Copies of this chain bind each other. A is one copy, B any other.
């Protein structure tokens, strides 16, 4: 299901953590890596050359949203995501299952797939495992994801978690059978909620389906970090050690570093861009909340220690003003800064793994975060 030209090479280790190189048809990704979220094929307000300058290597787009608008046939006609958008490097597409069930009204999940009313035109849509593979093949992403049924950890409803985990496996098998593109990775998704035995079963069965890349699903949905760590470690014990691992949708800087320490290779999260739009900046000194009146006439850079294009040219006072006035330049500049923070954090993680110092970096970041409160 994945062509032989695609490879994942592990280049260094520090405990469970590792550095690696993920090869794709549109270039290589040094891991562990953070993938900025470009839902509709664009990071809100930020241009591709700016993302590259900030250290982005691979972007994440949303299969479901692109299927709705502009439609995969438009993107295929323009040369796939790398031809259609201005980002010529690697793209990962999520399968859309999470968005369908969380965004669409009256979504219904059955064995066939997900049935829902399109929020764009209200018409009935069915997303199946085979359909999600076909859409992603047309989008021409470098990493495709299987359609999964994502359910959070819920000890009170073990039967539901088990049923969704088992259905995800049956869907994964159908997706693997449908997948044809030799130039595209297809990752399986491990589910199992917060139940270690179920995670273990899910990981083992997903591995046995022959996937060469894997994701952790259903995490970052409110569970305790310690439980999440246990779920990740349990799955990793079953997954092939030389396959790339992706922790979907997480999270705060400390969450990423915990994942890196456990051997996760890929991350994505909307937090840096969403926080940016709300005027919350990640800095070397912790979170900086621009809405605080103390920054009204503060002409210092958002983070004097930061090397991003925003901090080089603009002040806290100006960013605060733009965000309060609803000027889109504010969201753009703040997003670029926060993405640089995340991308720089993963650069530091890769360097720390090479130096055998990842544990110290993780502890430093987690401690800084604790000082900030809930973020």
Does the CB pair A327–B74 fall under 8 Å?
Answer: no
Which B residues lie within 8 Å of A331 (CB)?
Answer: 328
Answer whether A328 and B44 are a contact pair too, CB < 8 Å, given A83-B299, A84-B317. Answer: yes
Interface members, chain A 284-318 (any B CB < 8 Å) = 296-297, 299, 313-315, 317-318
Query: When the two chains form their complex, are residues B46 and A317 in contact, meaning their CB atoms are under 8 A apart?
Result: no
A85 adjacent to chain B (CB < 8 Å)? yes
Choose from B84, B296, B297, B314 the contact partner of A318 (Cβ within 8 Å): B84
Within 8 A of B (CB), among A60-93: 65, 69-70, 73-74, 77-79, 83-86
Q: A44 — which chain B residues lie within 8 A by C-beta? A: 327-329
Contacts of A41 in B (CB 8 A): 318, 321-322, 327
Contact B47 A325 (CB under 8 A): no
| Minimum C-beta distance from A212 to chain B (A) | 31
A56 interface residue (CB < 8 Å to B): no
Task: Choose from B45, B49, B84 the contact partner of A45 (Cβ within 8 Å).
Answer: B45
Contact partner of A297 (CB less than 8 A), chosen from B77, B315, B332, is B77
**Which residues of the other chain, B, contact A322 by a CB distance below 8 angstroms?**
40-42
Give the residue name and chain of the B residue nearest to A70 (CB): B321
- Contact between B315 and A78 (Cβ–Cβ < 8 Å)? yes
A324: CB under 8 A from chain B? yes
**Which parts of A135-186 form the interface with B (CB within 8 Å)?**
none
Closest to A83 in B: B299
Name the B residues within 8 Å of A40 (CB-CB): 321-322, 325, 327
**Which chain B residues lie closer than 8 Å to A189 at the CB level?**
none
Q: A69-B324, A84-B317 are in contact. Are A329 and B42 (CB under 8 A)?
A: yes
- A59 contacts the other chain (CB 8 A): no
By the criterion CB–CB under 8 Å, are A327 and B42 in contact?
yes
A70 lies within 8 A of B327 (CB): no
Q: What's the Cα separation between A45 and B45 when bound, in Å?
A: 7
Say whether A54 faces chain B, with CB atoms less than 8 Å apart: no
**A251 to nearest B CB, angstroms?**
24
> In this assembly, does A358 line the interface, its C-beta being within 8 Å of a C-beta of chain B?
no
Residue of B nearest to A336 (CB): B47
Q: Which residues of B contact A114 (CB under 8 A)?
A: none
